[in-house]
Amino acid sequence: MNADLYKNSIEYEKLTQSIYQAILSNEGFEQIKVEHNGKLVGRSGVEHQIDVYWKFKLANVEQSVLIECKNYSSALTLEKVRNFHAVINDIGNCKGIMVTKVGYQDGAKKYADFYGIDLKVLRKPTEEDWHGRIKDIHINIISKSPASDPEHPIEMSIILSPETEEQRKIIEQLQSEGKLNIPSGPDLFFVNKRKIPITEEMRWWIPQKLNVLHKEPGGPYEEVIKLEDSYVIINQDERAELLVRVEGVKVKYWVEEIENREIILHGEQIVQAILKNFRTGEIEFVKRN
């Protein structure tokens, strides 16, 4: 055999091996290993070279799937299918699959259908295969974020919701005396009724909560982030310390666009090969790993 033809045949067998390994893994059979270029001894005692195969147990009975690969540029003849059928019969208790690039002659198809040999076409995708399907994908990635710099600072104010009339009066008195100390720095976080933190610090929490994606760069914008079962400690570590429920946070901010780029994915980058059932015509696009 010509060296280039031999090399191409081996590459085609390895492609078949990788395709069926991926199919088995996708169907949940990761433990099954698809082998390449193995030797199996038939019931006659004759050793057969098998291009691609795998073994498995069903009802504690070992079975095999054998694949004959033909990297041909013309339709396979009856002779090729009949020769493979002889190997299947000699090994026994196995399923046979033939794989080629173009197709099968009528006699080969009739013979394979009668004896239950699956005929597949495995090849690189062509332009015709993409008819009625999406081939190229264009993705525009626009990244936006709240600005945070001296010229465009994020300003926030906490909306308190006292739970009792007594608590409301205490807050009003502290405010009138100038003694109301409400934490509002970037290291602030909200707590639950047991004073256990339930949010990240505001420097991380607020940017995640703001809806900036659909806003144009610039500003300022104002947004209220509603809260439930959230509290803040007022006058912490003082005699007048209070745990007060927070209804929400009012935020004033600016939006900046960080990145705007386009990604183009071509079908050839995604699909490794076409696997076609020659009998039914059903086509499967096999993705690259």
Residues 172-217: tens digit of each pLDDT: 888 888 888 877 778 889 999 998 999 999 888 988 888 888 888 8
The CATH code of domain 3-135+266-287 reads: 3.40.1350.10
Q: Are strands 118-123 and 94-100 parallel, antiparallel or unpaired?
A: parallel
Q: Measure the CA angle with vertex 90, ends 86 and 95; round to 5°.
A: 80
pLDDT of residue 263: 64
Alpha helices for 92-226 (secondary structure H):
106-115, 165-176, 202-209
Residue 272 DSSP label: E
For 182, the 3-state DSSP assignment is coil
In whole angstroms, give the CA distance from residue 15 to residue 113. Answer: 25
Ranked by mean pLDDT, which of 87-91, 129-133, 183-187, 262-266 comes out on top? 87-91
State percent of the chain over pLDDT 70.
85
pLDDT band of residue 283 (cuts 50, 70, 90) is: low
Task: Give residue for tokens 């940017």.
Answer: 207
Q: Are strands 231-234 and 242-265 parallel, antiparallel or unpaired?
A: antiparallel
* Segments of the chain assigned to CATH 3.40.1350.10: 3-135+266-287
> Long-range contact list for 122-131, CB < 8 A, 24+ apart?
122/12, 122/15, 122/16, 122/19, 122/273, 122/274, 122/275, 122/276, 123/273, 123/274, 124/273, 124/274, 125/267, 125/268, 125/271, 125/273, 125/274, 125/285, 126/274, 129/274, 129/283, 129/285, 130/267
Examine the pLDDT at 250 and tell me if it is beyond 70.
yes
Lowest-confidence pick of 49-53, 87-91, 189-193: 189-193
pLDDT tens for each residue of 97-128: 999 988 999 999 999 999 999 999 988 766 66
Find how far residue 80's CA is from the centre of its chain.
Answer: 40
In whole angstroms, give the CA distance from residue 88 to residue 112. Answer: 12
Tell me how crowded residue 247 is: count the other CB atoms within 10 A of its CB: 16
In whole angstroms, give the CA distance from residue 117 to residue 113. Answer: 6
* Residue 167 contacts residue 180 (beta carbons within 8 Å): no
